[in-house]
Structure 1
Amino acid sequence: MSVSPAQLGQVLSAFERNFRERNELGASVSVWWQGEEIFSAAQGHMDRTKSREWAESTLVPVYSATKGPASATLLMALEAKGMGPETLVREVWPAFPVAEATFAHLLSHQCGLAALDRRASVWDHTEVVAAVEVQEPAWRPGGGQGYHPRTFGALVEEPVRRLTGRTLGVHFREVLGEPLGLEFWIGLPESEHHRVATLYPGKADKSDLEEGFYSEFHKEGSLVRRAFSSPRGLHSVQEMNDPKAWSAGFPAMGGIGTAQALAKFYQAAIGAIESPLSPSVRAALAETRIQGDDRILMRETVFTCGCQKDPLDEAGNKKRRLYGTSAGAFGHPGAGGSHAFGDPETGLSFAYVMNQMELSVFPGPKSTEMIEGLFGE
């Protein structure tokens, strides 16, 4: 396919509408096609005082949009040791509590370790790992899937430390971030702190709280609530605005960067640019591992080794289009609305980041309307 000026015009129109009609404060969007950035827009302000203008170089926390680059980092570390998705986790991490689990199971949220019974602080990796090692899985591989919103960080961090002797964030910069020139960090250097925008939480209305996911999320003791509260700490947006959180390097939710960096990462992930990502790592990021009802997100999900895709019906048609029109497109959203993905079929990648968050489990109209315009919907 080719991308027409009209399609890019639709992206820009939707981007600008967010500021007029959807309470956007500051945001960036980046679109790449077959190795080149073909569209970029940045507008608004880095905080509500409006004293700092938002630019293409503005950095912002992207929450779970971190999971794609973090997963690629683990897959690269495994490959460097002659291992891969089918390797048993216990070959690297002997005390891992699910004996039959492979890294493919771990990266596709099939290990049943979304919630921890033992109290552990998100700031103490050793404590979290100890809690994981004694955790009885809520389900096991073959028993379905359930998104691991927070524990995913320790699940990918610990193997990378064992394989490389470095934190995941440091290894990411060495093997991916710096070679690709990505303005993206999992553990932000203090020298870049001045570039970070302030996040503002979304607001809930009554209908949000009554919906399936949020009903379970607010139910004391539910698996959903426990998954989003373990390990403990960093539960408020205000805490994520603390420079301590920017530098900590949490692989599940601590990535900070630009829209351009995320879109370029997915160009590498779909093989549209030369990169350190091998064909086998790209295939692991792209290939569906499981589709079904999600025990945590309370709706149908599709997971690859570290990314998400749109679910398909029996005829192979998409049931939703968060990742455009192609069945093979994959990526990962972040809490509040950030979103990024790549499409191997068209050679397109897309990323959107912002600082005025929305209350939504999946990407909302601020990004999906741009995606619809990009794919000529």
Structure 2
Amino acid sequence: MTRLATVRGTVRPGWEGVREAFARGQADDPGAAQLAVHHRGRQVVDLWTPGTVPTGRPFGPDAIGVLMSVSKGMVAVCAHLLVERGLLDLDAPVARYWPEFAAAGKAGTTVTDLLAHRAGLPAFTDAAAGVTAPALFDRDERVRALAAMRPVWQPGSAYLYHALTYGHLVGEVVRRVTGTSVGAFFAREVAGPLKLDLWLGLPWREEHRFVPQFATRPVPTAADVARAVHAHGLAPDHRLTSALRAAAAELTEITQAFGTRRGRAREFPAAGGIGNARSLSRMYAALVGEVDGVRLLSRPTADRARTPHTDHLRPPEPLDRFDGPDRSRFGLGFELPRPGEPLLGEGSFGHAGVGGRLGMAHPESGLAVGYVCTAMSWEPSAGPDPRWTQWTAVVREAAEGSVRG
């Protein structure tokens, strides 16, 4: 007999299969989770599992949690709003908006390079030990360091995930254009009009709703990364080795910091977004259609955002020798499905977060989803989280049935 998790919430007629699929996906998950789905601007799924919550707080659809790299999609939305308004040119050099960034061989680095993880700045420092948590929250110092840093590879010639620096790089461009931080811009131009429970920097008044995450496996250390990159042929003193070790150490530091009130209150735009599944789904629905009279991006802007910008590139040397069909794909600030992984359908775009969170949309079907969980799996994966695969196909089928009906 198939095991099912306890699921609460509602689904609209025709979407009942999503409830059972979500229950299957959560059956072996020790934590709590939320799943929300919008279809053509209307919420059709609003489900959650109570699971285990470390603090003992009740977990329901209004609970909020750390979104990790799902936050990158929030930052990308801000950049594309500026593009749509004619205030930001994706092909322009970053230095047009942020003059100090031209230092150390980066004069030709474009805004597109930042959004597509092609900038060659995957960590905040060249020191393998990385930057510690207090310094990670010093935005001005981190921005100055990135502006002065020499890229690890020639910008635009290769790509590798900028796990934490992405938010400061794109966020600083947003700040230079608007005069306000990316978190404040998101609050005013995205969360406000759509009435979203999404923040880059959690206000104190919302702290009572916060539910912490917990790891189901040990967090990878810098030493783990060092062993892995050595196995891939990188010498210990290679700059890319140091950058990857630093990025791993910084990820550990910042993840621990999100467990504190102070860490949640500070803007850390690459990974520190906080919110719930309802709001993620609602935001992505407004990227591809109208939601209660609000549409964030026009169809041409959304199509530009999901255009592949790394398919013709490989990781930097010598990691390019291990490139394969399961590699990550990026558009402009958004992740794209790998071959054979349609998720919501061919042409889906969005962003996942380490541990299993997901926000995604599919313009052709009008689908948008938000998934938030408290159990954070650090298990390496070359594909979608196994909890998603239980319900993504059912969501697609329900949308197709809705159209036929």
Q: TM-score range by the shorter chain?
A: 0.7 to 0.9
Per-residue CA shift, 1:188-227, capped at 9, x if unaligned?
1100011011110131699xx9x99983399966737734
The answer for the alignment partner of 1:146 in structure 2 is: 160
Match for 1:216: what amino acid? V
CA distance in 2: counterparts of 1:224 and 1:9, whole angstroms: 48
Counterpart Cα distance in 2 of 1:217 and 1:63: 27
Which of 48, 66, 90 is the aligned partner of 1:42? 48
The number of equivalent residue pairs is 363
Paired position in structure 1 for 2:37: 31
Q: Secondary structure at the match of 1:300?
A: coil
TM-score normalised by structure 1 residue count = 0.85
Instruction: Determine what percentage of the aligned residue pairs are the same residue.
Output: 27
More displaced stretch, 125-134 vs 193-202: 125-134
1:124 aligns to 2:143 (yes or no): no
Answer with 86-95 or 330-339: which moved more: 86-95
CA-CA distance at 1:19 after TM superposition: 3.9
Using the TM superposition, give the Cα deviation of residue 229 of structure 1 relative to its aligned residue in structure 2, in angstroms: 3.3
- For 2:216, the aligned partner's letter is G
Post-superposition offset of 1:79: 4.6
Aligned residue type for 1:17: R
1:200 aligns to what?
Answer: 214
Residue 23 of structure 2 corresponds to which residue in structure 1?
16
Question: Offset at 1:140?
Answer: 2.4
- Mapped partners of 2:388, 2:96: distance in 1: 40
1:247 match: 265
Amino acid at match of 1:307: F
Residue 140 of structure 1 aligns to a residue in which SS? Answer: coil
Q: TM-score, normalised by structure 2?
A: 0.80
Does the 8 Å CA contact 1:30/1:260 hold for their aligned counterparts?
Answer: yes
Say if 2:120 is the partner of 1:112: yes
- Aligned counterpart for 1:83 among listed residues 73, 83, 88: 88
Query: Which structure 1 segments of 5+ residues have no match?
Result: 312-317
Offset at 1:276?
A: 3.6
Greater shift after overlay, 110-119 or 332-341? 110-119
- Does structure 1 conserve the Cα–Cα contact (< 8 Å) formed by 2:87 and 2:177? no
- 2:78–2:182: 8 Å Cα contact kept in structure 1? yes
Taking the aligned partners of 1:285 and 1:217, their CA distance within structure 2 comes to 35
> Larger deviation: 160-169 or 225-234?
225-234
In the alignment, the residues of structure 2 paired with residue 213 and residue 367 of structure 1 have an alpha-carbon distance, to the nearest angstrom, of 30
Following TM superposition, by how much is the alpha carbon of 1:99 offset from its aligned partner in structure 2, in angstroms? Answer: 1.6
CA distance in 1, matches of 2:269, 2:203: 15
Amino acid in structure 2 at the alignment position of 1:131: A
Cα pair 2:34 2:47 within 8 Å, conserved = yes
Structure 1 stretch 328-337 or stretch 273-282: which is displaced more?
A: 273-282
| Alignment deviations for residues 309-355 of structure 1 (CA, whole Å, 9 cap, x no partner) | 123xxxxxx3323x3332x1101000100011000111101111010
If you compute each CA radius of gyration, which structure gives the higher value, 1 or 2?
2
Partner AA of 2:264 in structure 1: W
2:183 partner letter: G
Task: Determine the C-alpha separation between the residues in 2 that align with 1:60 and 1:107.
Answer: 25
After superposing on structure 2, the runs of 4+ consecutive aligned residues of structure 1 that deviate more than 6 Å are: 211-214, 217-222
Cα distance change, pair 130–284 in 1 and its aligned pair in 2 (3 A): same
Counterparts in 2 of 1:167-182, with a 5 A limit? Answer: 167-182=181-196
Structure 2: segments with no counterpart, 5+ residues = 1-10, 399-405
Distance 1:217 1:200 in 2: 29
Q: Is 1:161 the counterpart of 2:182 in the alignment?
A: no
8 Å CA contact 2:306, 2:331 repeated in 1: yes
Hey, what's the Cα distance between the residues in 1 that align with 2:195 and 2:245?
33
- Answer yes or no: is the 8 Å Cα contact 1:87–1:102 preserved in 2: yes
Are 1:307 and 2:334 an aligned pair? Answer: yes
Cα 1:183–1:127, aligned 2, differ >3 Å: closer, same or farther? same
Give the letter for the 2:46 counterpart. S
CA contact 1:29–1:40 (8 Å) conserved in 2: yes
Counterparts of 1:124 and 1:231 in 2: how far apart (Å)? 19
Report if aligned partners of 2:336, 2:350 keep a CA contact under 8 Å in 1: yes
Cα distance in 2 for residues equivalent to 1:240 and 1:325 = 33
